[in-house]
A and B are shown apart, each in its own frame.
Chain A
Amino acid sequence: MTPGVVALLMLAGLSEALGRATPVAVRRRGVPRSRMLRLVLAGAVVEGTVFALWPLTAWTLAELLLGSPPPGDGVEWTPGLVAPLVLSAVLAFPLLGSLLHLLLFVGVGAGLTGPLSAASGLGWWTAAGCVSVAGVVLGVAVEGVRRLVVRMSAADTAEAP
């Protein structure tokens, strides 16, 4: 993974974390800026890591489906594939935004499907299934982390004098 791709993944993670953290923080009177900053930075790392894991997870699923190592070397993010994710914070508006947010992920997922299909030898639709399942599994996992952080953060705020 090139430094440029890593930087873009972190930026996308930051964007997603900002979009997720601000609605929670606005309802918490007295959240210090430093805690908010830590929350967003931790979120950026988690979200960025999840984005990084998406092609790897899809590749692992493809391996499981084939029952033997696929012929290719795997799938990796390219700047062109990951760049749209940087917009996730802006597109996370409800009604208008939830749909755009979903479309963004569907579009990026479709972008990943082609390289996965080519590298693994799977058909396009099967590869798309791997990308979708990987995305959903990672999405559910990160949602669990988010809820845990929100609960812990709420408990901390409640305990604060």
Chain B
Amino acid sequence: MNDFLLWAVALGPALLAEGLLARYEVLAYGAGWRAPVTELPEGVPYARGADPDRPPDAYLVYLDGIGKRRVRDSRDGGQLVRAVLAGAPELRVLGQVQPYSPLADPLADRPVWSWLRRRVGLVLFLHNVMQIFVAADRRYRPLYNRAVGSQIATQLRLAGYRPGSGIPVVLLSYSGGAQVATGAVDELCKRLGCPLLLIMFGGFHNGANDLTRADHVHRLTGSGDRIERVGTWMFPQRWPLFRGSGWNRAARGGKVTVHRFDPATHVGPRSYISRSALLPDGRTHLARTADTVVELIRDHCRSDAGEGPRP
């Protein structure tokens, strides 16, 4: 009983505050009280990888999981980005997008959050979890999608992307980043007119966003990934019953390809981006994920190029 009280007293007000703070940010964006941040801190490049003087084969935007709280890569996400860059130097990779901030304002740079991070690091994760639910909420979703879609479009332009160039844009998302990636499709197509490929691993999303304008969606999933499974149970639009949902329409239209990464888990030593878990072929889980991502992008670029010259 004491444990319950402790949790209720500690977690209840924190949840309440988080639930409201998470909505405040989308409110500040929608009402125009604050302009989204576009500039990166000194020394942070707008993109890494292929030489900026010549068009890359594709632009890859990495949308991290709930651990994302600064412009620079998180520890785990950074490993994957580095592995992808090492395997595919023909790509230009952006890792600075803030999936959990409509104002593109990294959580770690806010004074109050810095103070909290030193004392109660858990609330930072809680904040980003709440942002996923705000992004999934039908009342806030259109605005949230527009906010993050325009953030990605702005960062792509600053990284050298020319609208209408026809160079594919790949949204590589992990966990809650999938909610943001599926939501950004329309805004990106509208602003950049780009071919879009979505690759999600451990994707946690509500399945409501329309994926008509995406070329294809690759879902990387593992039998040990309980968090992804919770997402498919929690959101009715992921249930087969809701045939009209964006996700189910995309799946019926053959746009979704599932890749089994058994027995990968969502987080921990057997996760998709683990450097310690080994496969029978001797590769690490991280290497398998990075190899698959690179392979999927190259296949997409080849099929895209095979369809004829870009406009």
Contacts and interface: CB of A to CB of B under 8 A. Distances in A.
Interface of A: 15, 18, 22-23, 25-31, 33, 36, 86-87, 89-90, 93-97
A86 B17 CA distance: 11
B172 to A, nearest CB: 27
A52 to B, nearest CB: 21
Interface residues of B, number: 25
Contacts of B27: 22, 25-26, 36
Contact of A31 (B12, B19, B31): B31
B7 interface: no
B137 A28 contact: no
19 contacts: A22-B23, A23-B139, A25-B27, A25-B30, A26-B23, A26-B26, A26-B30, A27-B143, A28-B30, A30-B32, A31-B31, A33-B31, A33-B33, A86-B16, A87-B12, A90-B15, A90-B19, A93-B137, A96-B133
Contacts, number: 57
Interface in B1-57: 12, 15-16, 19-20, 23-24, 26-27, 29-33
Contacts of B143: 26-27
A71 B133 CA distance: 48
A29 B33 CA distance: 9
A94 B30 contact: no
Given A15-B16, A86-B16, A95 B138 contact: yes
Please classify the interface of chain A as helix (H, G, I), strand (E, B), loop, or mixed, using the class held by over half of its residues.
Answer: helix
Interface string B120-145: 00000000000001001111100100
A87 B13 CA distance: 9
B115 interface: no
Closest 8 CB pairs of A and B: A26-B30, A90-B19, A23-B139, A31-B31, A22-B23, A94-B138, A29-B32, A26-B27
Interface of B: 12, 15-16, 19-20, 23-24, 26-27, 29-33, 133, 136-140, 143, 206, 234-236
Contacts of B140: 23, 26
Contacts of A89: 16, 19-20
Among A15, A22, A29, A30: residue with most chain B CB under 10 A:
A22
Nearest to B23: A22
A10 to B, nearest CB: 15
B137 to A, nearest CB: 5
Among B31, B139, B235: residue with most chain A CB under 10 A:
B31
Contacts of A90: 15-16, 19-20
B246 to A, nearest CB: 14
Given A26-B29, A29-B31, A87-B12, 6 more contacts: A22-B24, A26-B31, A89-B20, A94-B139, A95-B136, A95-B236
Nearest to B234: A96
Nearest to B22: A90
Given A25-B31, A26-B26, A26-B30, A94 B137 contact: yes
A28 B31 contact: yes
Contacts of B236: 95
Contacts of B133: 93, 96
Contacts of A31: 31
A57 B180 CA distance: 45
B31 A18 contact: no
A93 B32 CA distance: 23
Contacts of A95: 136, 138, 206, 235-236
B32 to A, nearest CB: 5
Nearest to B138: A94
Given A94-B137, A96-B133, A29 B30 contact: yes
Contacts of B138: 94-95
A18 B16 CA distance: 11
Contacts of A36: 27, 31
A30 B31 contact: yes
